[in-house]
Amino acid sequence: MNNSLLASFIVCCVLISCSFCYGDEVIILKTGRKITGKIISRTETSIQVEIKVGKSKAEMTIPVESIERIEEGRGLEEEFQKKLSAIKPTDLDGYQALIVWCEKEGMKSQAQRVRVRLKKAEIQFLKDKYPDSWCRPCKATGKLACSSCEGKGEKIEPCPRCTGRGDVECRSCARKEKGALDCRRCGGAGVYERFDASKGRKVKTRCTTCSGKGKIECPTCNGKQKSKCEDCKGKGGKASKCEACKGKKYDLCKPCESSGVKGNPEKKAPQKEGPVQEDSEEETKTPKKKPVVKDNPFGR
């Protein structure tokens, strides 16, 4: 097979594999190196692949002539789902093992999802083991919402201009009735005079702008008589990190020594003060920066 034939053959493979799967592809280079990523664009001479580099994603251009073949991804996500659904909700070791597997495969967000499940499973485990003495105030989590900031992690310093309400009286209409302004077209009369050529004289016409009411809703505040406070942009104040919990939103539960069970029967050490894991399996949706890697970061 000559080179150009090989190239078009590879392009064909790329097209086929892309139309059938949405997951990652494994690109095997002639050097034997494997690159796993999502093919985002292709030309006759090269393909562009989005790969994961640590926490971020990078784009990489691979010349077609250096590609041996492209395989459909191993369906890691599918495998993950299969593994996850096979774990019984009480199987703490199963979750642990899956976290290790996810980390090995570089599936950080999936690992995080399993951690959330593991946390729930651990709590359930405590409740089952100590049906009478699991700690009620913290619901066996060992953590209590910070009393100083009510679990928000930040405190709002009220805006002096709006005293924390986030809105101020509408300057255009606050002293008027019900947030209404006099209609400018009819001067508040609800009707105006118009010259009717067919009659040769002026006739009174009902004002359509205000539907004959003579008043229109204040356009500045839509009749609410209030407008957003510009000092605080409607937020009611400036947020600052809660001093009491240092922004972590939680305090360790004292009655159970943060063990989740009254009296701490298993003599657990207090939980590490790491970043608080949110109680959700949602993946973080913040867009990640995409450093563009022009050269092959794996070397040749």
Q: In whole angstroms, how close is the CB of 89 to Zn ion at the nearest point?
A: 22
Q: Which of 185, 264, 268, 293 binds Zn ion (CB under 5 A)?
A: 185
Closest CA to 40 of 29, 54, 51, 32: 51
Please state at what angle helix 92-104 crosses helix 108-129, rounded to 10 degrees.
170
Indicate whether 204 belongs to the interface with Zn ion (CB under 5 A). Answer: no
Nearer to Zn ion, 106 or 247 (CB): 247
Closest CA to 35 of 8, 3, 68: 68
Q: Which of 49, 67, 118, 229 binds Zn ion (CB under 5 A)?
A: 229
Nearer to Zn ion, 113 or 226 (CB): 226
Stretch that binds Zn ion, among 78-86, 105-113, 117-125, 217-225 (CB under 5 A): 217-225
Q: In whole angstroms, how close is the CB of 91 to Zn ion at the nearest point?
A: 25
Q: Specify the residue for token string 């642990």.
A: 96
Nearer to Zn ion, 39 or 170 (CB): 170
Q: Which of 49, 64, 102, 253 binds Zn ion (CB under 5 A)?
A: 253
Residue 211: left if φ>0, alpha if ψ -120 to 50, beta else—which one? left
How many helices (H) and strands (E) the chain has is answered by 4, 15
Q: In whole angstroms, how close is the CB of 234 to Zn ion at the nearest point?
A: 7
User: How many Å apart are CA 66 and CA 39, to the nearest integer?
Assistant: 15
User: How many Å apart are CA 249 and CA 241, to the nearest integer?
Assistant: 10
Indicate whether 261 belongs to the interface with Zn ion (CB under 5 A). Answer: no
Indicate whether 180 belongs to the interface with Zn ion (CB under 5 A). Answer: no
Indicate whether 256 belongs to the interface with Zn ion (CB under 5 A). Answer: yes
User: How many Å apart are CA 121 and CA 115, to the nearest integer?
Assistant: 10
Closest CA to 154 of 253, 231, 234, 246: 246
Q: Which two tokens stand for residue 85?
A: 């659904």
* Dihedral pair phi/psi, residue 224, rounded to 5°: -80, -15
Q: In whole angstroms, how close is the CB of 44 to Zn ion at the nearest point?
A: 59
Q: Which residues inside 121-150 make contact with Zn ion, applying CB under 5 A?
A: 135, 138, 146, 148-149
Nearer to Zn ion, 50 or 167 (CB): 167
Indicate whether 98 belongs to the interface with Zn ion (CB under 5 A). Answer: no
Q: In whole angstroms, how close is the CB of 262 to Zn ion at the nearest point?
A: 8
Residues with Cβ within 8 Å of residue 247, at least 6 apart in sequence: 153, 154, 241
Stretch that binds Zn ion, among 37-45, 47-55, 84-92, 200-208 (CB under 5 A): 200-208
In the complex, which residues of this chain contact Zn ion (CB under 5 A)?
135, 138, 146, 148-149, 159, 161-162, 170, 172-173, 183, 185-186, 207, 209-210, 218, 220-221, 229, 231-232, 242, 244-245, 253, 256
